[in-house]
Amino acid sequence: MTILYNCKPMHTSGMYNITKFDDDMNVVSSYVTTITGDCDCPRGPHPTCRHRQMLPKFISRQHVGDEWFLDFDRGGWVQMGPEYIGPTQLEASDGQSTPELDGLERDEYLAGIMERDLPEGVTMIVMDHPDKVVDVHNAIADAVGEPHAIIPKHIPRRLG
């Protein structure tokens, strides 16, 4: 049995509704999860739950309020029909629209969520650009005491 989840933004900024669907796309359960790490599911009082683990995935893949569903157990994404697309912007109670997180806000949010879930002494490095590979190498080098990689801007050619 495949269980799928989708994520919709709520009227209050920073709150999301994560809904669980069965094989026939019937709603099994739905919980409100926030970007600050709160969740109203039965595991809400615990340090983490699957909804808090899912929210960064939905935000980083930009699949909040669209037709994409997460198969959490298998770690894959499933695209459904347009009937599952929700609004990407909702009106707040004061009548102003609440936009989705932009790139920088999303990165800051994800870094905060991931760092909170990491074991003590582990540092997260976001690899959003090829140059970040050097950062990973240097982090490993720092951990094991090896020299830092220096990537030359120009590599001289050998003539001969």
pLDDT tens-digit readout, 90-129 = 333 344 444 455 555 555 555 555 555 566 666 666 566 6
Please indicate, yes or no, whether residues 47 and 69 belong to a single structural domain of this protein: yes
- Assigned token pair, 38: 């709160």
Does 150 reside within a domain?
A: no
Give the pLDDT confidence score for residue 16 in this predicted structure.
92
Please indicate, yes or no, whether residues 87 and 107 belong to a single structural domain of this protein: yes
Please indicate, yes or no, whether residues 139 and 104 belong to a single structural domain of this protein: no
Does 53 reside within a domain?
A: yes
Please indicate, yes or no, whether residues 48 and 101 belong to a single structural domain of this protein: yes
The strand pair at 90-91 and 15-21 is best described as unpaired
* Domains contained in the chain, number: 2
Total-model pTM: 0.54
Does 160 reside within a domain?
A: no
User: In the chain, which stretches have pLDDT less than 50?
Assistant: 87-99
Give the pLDDT confidence score for residue 91 in this predicted structure.
37
Which residues span the domain enclosing 124?
119-144
Please indicate, yes or no, whether residues 12 and 84 belong to a single structural domain of this protein: yes
Please indicate, yes or no, whether residues 110 and 137 belong to a single structural domain of this protein: no
In the beta sheet, which residues pair with residue 17? Answer: 8, 32
The owner of tokens 């690899």 is 127
The owner of tokens 């994409």 is 68
Beta strands in the chain (DSSP E): 4-9, 15-21, 27-34, 68-71, 76-79, 90-91, 97-98
Give the pLDDT confidence score for residue 131 in this predicted structure.
63
Give the pLDDT confidence score for residue 12 in this predicted structure.
73
| Cα dihedral 39→45→50→52 (10° resolution) | 50
Please indicate, yes or no, whether residues 93 and 58 belong to a single structural domain of this protein: yes
- Residue count (the chain): 160
